[in-house]
Chains A and B, each alone.
Chain A
Amino acid sequence: MTIVAAALLLGASAVHAAGAFSSGRPVIGGAALAIAAWSVASLLWDRRGQTLSLIVLAHTILAATAVGTGAAPAATVAGLTAALYGWDTALTARVLASLPRRDRRVLALVYLRRSGVLAILGVAAALAAPALRIPLGFRSGLATALAAFAAAALLVRLALPPARRGPGAKGEPGGGTRRPAR
């Protein structure tokens, strides 16, 4: 899985670099190559995962810069998706690394299949987006923004583990009130 992760991260860098060099932006291309080297180094030596997160952040900034300066959106979207996919694969590889070979193989295949489908969905959504035209007035726009904000808040709450949702959560330790000990 580490090899797949490395291939995906390198592929993302290659897509960014190819797009940048072909559209005459050597600085962005150089940055993409530097990120490629960084990715390989972090996969080989870093064991904590923080560096991988920074690499994804760097890929996102690179992709945003490329799109902002007029690079082809399709290639950039594919590059960013590959970077995300590679990052997730590298993190999963670390969880599965301690498993016996047989278990690791089964779980890795299931994971790669599911996350591959998800990556294709993401790219498809990005490519289909320009075709969508939603006319928004002030009120509908405000309502949409509020709904989006509420959805984001709900997402964050869902993403938090149960223990961090605070005392009083149903069925969690610490729920209810307790008289302090004298």
Chain B
Amino acid sequence: MRSDQKVPLSLALGLGLAGFAILIRSSELVALSLPVIVYALFLVVSTAMLPPSRFTVERAIDRYRAIDGETLCVTTRIINRSGSAVRIVARDRLPAAGERLDGEPSAAARLAPAGALTLSYRIRLPRGVHEIGSAEVTVLAPLGLARRASDAGEATPVRIVPRSAPIERIAISPRRTRGFAGTVRARLGGQGLEFFGCRAYTPGDDVRRINWRAYARRDALVINEYDIERIADVNVIVDARARVHLRVGDRDTFEPAIEAAARVAGRLIAQGNSVGLLIYGDYLHWVFPGTGRGQHDRILDALSDARPSDKPAFEGLDRLPTRLFPPGSQIVLVSPLADTHDVEVVSRLVGRGYAVLLISPNRASLARTAISRDPALRLAERIVQLDRSISLDALTRLGVRAVDWDLTTPLAEAVAVLSRPAGGRR
């Protein structure tokens, strides 16, 4: 509960001035103090007449977890429990990042006992975890001069998760897969769809798989084998180091990276894989791998919290906790890549037997939208782009599937190349 500071200040001013006037026996000063004293008197009487601030707040939001870009309809009812009629000014505390679309989060009204004031509005919030704060209710005194502000109700948390619109199938080929049937080729002969090879017939083999053409040539029974398709362990790593991301105006490379991670993770989960998430930046935020819709929601929740950070401990990518990732599993790294050191770290991951898929939002493509037609700047941008191409080519030669994502094109278009099993850089 907060009262105006003007009551004690005006009292101090009026009484101080009057006291000083009496002390120096100045009738003019006494007269001067009278307006202040009259004002203070009215304030004190008004404050004493203020009814107690007792309100209950009922807030309803059409959803407490929304997708980035969706609107939220908020309705807050402030009910007068003071037992007497009050005139109030009420205001819902909206998150600073919010954008109000329509309706009013504040209003003034005279409330009868048990009467209610309803604030109804629609807002749009960016990705993140936000709080619609407790309602600020200011009770106005009958004379209109004094007032008392208080907080009523509780803050309401709202989570805005990144957009995760579906993208095309992503073909991955890790060295190791898990024992359950899925969509990832396990590089093992058995029952599947894709042809894997031939071997000599052994009793018990399915006669329908006998390769009769080979039998005609070799006079020995040969059977066809097909690639077994299983699920794989996939860990999506989001590079949240502030130093690798670029912001130009109101656009940056971090939000596209989050969107890419959300959509790729969603796609891989939809393909039946066990997908985990690691956010590398402020701290190591790891979502244990899992499958199904619940896991997708857990990943989206974690991504909604992600913020770029410049912690010195995570300056390089070499602090990646690779022991968290099963040997031979698939790693999807979403990073603009800062320098050759990052490239080295990625190549080391390949050396350890991980299958690495790199989705790299192109910082130069973002900068290009902002730089002028100055030939020197254009030349600088070309040099940066060439340097980046050399790094990505080196990674591609090592077996990394790299997607150089020009941010002027949609993600779905950029990752369309991943629907084919063969590696290669777009």
Residues of A within 8 A of B (CB): 49, 53, 56-57, 60, 63-64, 67-68, 73, 76-77, 80-81, 84, 87-88, 91-92, 95-96, 98-100, 103-104, 106-107, 110-111, 114-115, 118-119, 121-123, 125-127, 129-130, 152, 155-156, 158-163
* A115-B26 Cα distance, complex, nearest whole Å: 28
Partner of B35, one of A80, A115, A156: A80
- 29 A–B contact pairs at CB < 8 A? A60-B36, A73-B28, A77-B34, A87-B6, A88-B145, A91-B4, A96-B108, A98-B91, A98-B105, A98-B106, A99-B108, A103-B107, A107-B89, A115-B145, A118-B38, A118-B42, A121-B38, A122-B34, A122-B38, A130-B27, A130-B28, A155-B11, A155-B40, A156-B8, A158-B47, A159-B7, A159-B43, A161-B1, A163-B1
Which residue of chain B lies nearest to A155 when distances are taken between CB atoms in the complex? B44
Query: Are B38 and A95 in contact (CB-based, < 8 A)?
Result: no
**Interface segment, one of B13-21, B193-201, B322-330, B351-359:** B13-21
Contact present for B17 and A64 (CB under 8 Å):
yes
Q: Using CB atoms, name the residue of chain A closest to B103.
A: A100
For A152, the closest partner residue in chain B by CB is B15
Residues of A within 8 A of B3 (CB): 159-161
Interface flags, B369-397, vs A, CB<8A=1, else 0: 00000000000000000000000000000
Q: Are B6 and A100 in contact (CB under 8 A)?
A: no
Checking A56, A99, A115, A126 against B144 with a beta-carbon cut-off of 8 angstroms, the contacting residue is: A115
Residue of A nearest to B104 (CB): A100
Which of A81, A91, A111, A118 meets B6, CB within 8 Å? A91
Check: B147 CB closer than 8 A to any chain A CB. Answer: yes
Interface membership of B187, Cβ < 8 A: no
The docked-state distance in angstroms from the alpha carbon of A17 to that of B148 is 35
Residues on B lying within 8 angstroms of A by beta carbon are 1, 3-11, 13, 15, 17, 20, 24, 26-32, 34-36, 38-45, 47-48, 52, 89, 91, 104-108, 138, 140, 143-145, 147-149
Partner of A126, one of B4, B32, B45, B89: B32
The residues of B that contact A123 with a CB separation of less than 8 Å are 35
List A contacts of B39 (CB < 8 A): 84, 88, 118, 122
Contact of A99 with B5 at beta-carbon distance under 8 Å, contacts A73-B28, A80-B32, A126-B35 already known: no
* Total inter-chain residue pairs, C-beta < 8 Å: 134
Bound complex: CA of A91 vs CA of B6, how far in Å? 9
Residues of A close to B6: CB separation below 8 A: 53, 87-88, 91
Closest to B3 in A: A161
Q: In the complex, which residues of chain A have a beta carbon less than 8 angstroms from the beta carbon of B35?
A: 77, 80-81, 84, 119, 122-123, 125-126
Q: Give, as a whole number of angstroms, the nearest-CB distance from B111 to chain A.
A: 14
In the bound complex, CA of A64 to CA of B30 (Å)? 10
Bound complex: CA of A138 vs CA of B78, how far in Å? Answer: 57
Q: Are A67 and B28 in contact (CB under 8 A)?
A: yes
Residues of A within 8 A of B105 (CB): 98
A98 / chain B contacts, CB cutoff of 8 Å: 89, 91, 105-106
When distances are taken between beta carbons in the complex, the residues of chain B under 8 Å from A67 are: 26, 28-29, 32
The interface residues of chain B lying within 8 Å CB-to-CB of A96 are 89, 108
Which 6 pairs across A and B sit closest by C-beta, in order of nearness? Answer: A122-B35, A158-B48, A122-B38, A129-B31, A103-B108, A98-B106
User: Which residues of A are found within 8 Å of B41, using beta-carbon distances?
Assistant: 155
- Cα–Cα, bound, A103→B89 (Å): 9
Contacts of A118 in B (CB 8 A): 38-39, 42, 145
- Would you give the shortest CB distance from B78 to chain A, in whole angstroms? 14
Q: Which residues of B contact A125 (CB under 8 A)?
A: 34-35, 38
Question: Inside 8 A of B4's CB, which chain A residues have their CB?
Answer: 91
What's the Cα separation between A60 and B14 when bound, in Å? 9
What residues of chain B lie closer than 8 Å to A103, measured between beta carbons?
Answer: 107-108
Which residues of B are found within 8 Å of A77, using beta-carbon distances?
31-32, 34-35
- Asked if B32 contacts A99 (CB within 8 A), the reply is no
Would B5 and A73 count as touching, CB distance under 8 A? no
The residue from A81, A88, A159 contacting B8, defined by CB atoms under 8 A apart: A159
Q: Are A68 and B34 in contact (CB under 8 A)?
A: no
Interface core residue of B27, B31, B45, B104 (most chain A CB under 10 Å): B31
